[in-house]
Structure 1
Amino acid sequence: MAMAKKRQWVKPQTPPNSDINVTPLVDVVLVLLIIFMVLTPLLEKDIEVRVPETEVDTTPPETNDQLVVQLTDTGAIKINAEHMSSQEDYVNRLKRMLAVKPREERVVFFMADDKANYGALIGVMDGAKTAGAVVLGMATEDLPEGAVVPGAEGAAPAPEAPAPTP
């Protein structure tokens, strides 16, 4: 019989290191940081925004009884140059004016002063929806001096309001 070989185990002098070596990780992160710091200024460009094309409607309005609600910088509300005393009065008056129109013609245009409170404008628009308005439109150009809004007493023809966007 042959002599059985004994296996000898070599015991390491130090136990295995189970800690994560973070030095290579830090090196990689710093290299990536430098790359992004160099590339970021080169990537800044203008933001492309798709703006809808403007259409100029040259056809005259069918009727001259458009509802134009104006909101002044002090928060005063006018319907076709008629001052409203309160939000409730405004909603009730607009409800009566819209009730006589067919549903598809219940369009209300808004002209807000540049310094008007945004929350007040939203409240006025919400009041128009409550009163039964189907389409709300924003007028982006001020009325010329001396122009009278249609529907006011002694009204002269005013410039036509922009086409509504549903």
Structure 2
Amino acid sequence: MTQKRIRRSWVKPASAPNADINVTPLVDVVLVLLIIFMVVTPLMEKDLEVRVPETELEENPPSDPNDTQLVVQVAESGDYSINTEKIAPADYVARLTRMLNTKKQDERVVFFVADDNASYGKLVAAMDGAKAAGAKVLGFAPQEPGGAVVPGATPTEGTAPAPTPPR
């Protein structure tokens, strides 16, 4: 048996090794990411802007809210109350119009307190009725975590801040 000798040959590179970074793929990746962010960013900005006032605890609560404020309560059953006086839904706008007509234009403020289980549609209908009755400012009477209404709002059992629509 004859052995063949294998001859090894080396190929020399035509030029010296290049230690520079190839920038072209980096630019391609950055441009693709830029396009993705430009497309996605407008889709993320579909939030509702809400201005929440800062709260302060008052030492002396204001006088009887029945004399100074109008607080509309929406019960779980959908019944309306104005300053703890129950009102039939058919008489709500007429009664609120009479009450608001006794106030100055810049003092026509109506606060709303809704039960946790109250229908969101009933709350919106109450707010629309208040606007139709001549209210200039609508607000929600806040409620403390313990269930007591903050001073200035009419306390009733089982009331809560207005429900918020799901996002």
Compute the TM-score of the two structures, normalised by the length of structure 2.
0.53
Q: 99, 119, 134: which is aligned to 1:117?
A: 119
Trace 1:21-100 onto structure 2 (pairs within 5 A): 52=51, 54-57=53-56, 58=58, 61=62, 64=65, 65=67, 66-86=69-89, 88-100=90-102
Match of 2:130 in 1: 128
- 5+ residue gaps, structure 1: 1-31, 37-46, 148-157, 162-166
Compute the TM-score of the two structures, normalised by the length of structure 1.
0.53
- CA distance in 2 between partners of 1:126 and 1:91 (Å): 9
- Shift in Å, 1:99: 0.2
Q: What is the DSSP-based 3-state SS (H/G/I as helix, E as strand, rest coil) of the residue aligned with 2:91?
A: helix
Match of 1:102 in 2: 104
Say how many residue pairs are matched: 109
Q: What is the DSSP-based 3-state SS (H/G/I as helix, E as strand, rest coil) of the residue aligned with 1:96?
A: helix
- Shift in Å, 1:140: 2.7
- Shift in Å, 1:76: 0.7
Match of 1:159 in 2: 151
- Shift in Å, 1:81: 0.7
- Shift in Å, 1:139: 1.5
- After superposition, the C-alpha distances for 1:64-114 in whole angstroms (9 at most, x for unaligned) are 42100000111010001111122x301111000000100100000000111
Computing the radius of gyration over CA atoms, which structure comes out larger, 1 or 2?
A: 1
- 5+ residue gaps, structure 2: 1-28, 34-43, 154-167
Q: What is the DSSP-based 3-state SS (H/G/I as helix, E as strand, rest coil) of the residue aligned with 2:111?
A: strand
Identity %, equivalent residues: 49
Trace 1:139-158 onto structure 2 (pairs within 5 A): 139-141=141-143, 144=148
The residue identity in structure 1 corresponding to 2:73 is: Q
- CA distance in 2 between partners of 1:82 and 1:129 (Å): 20
Q: What is the DSSP-based 3-state SS (H/G/I as helix, E as strand, rest coil) of the residue aligned with 2:139?
A: strand
Q: What is the DSSP-based 3-state SS (H/G/I as helix, E as strand, rest coil) of the residue aligned with 1:111?
A: strand
Query: RMSD of the alignment, in Å?
Result: 3.4
The residue identity in structure 1 corresponding to 2:81 is: K
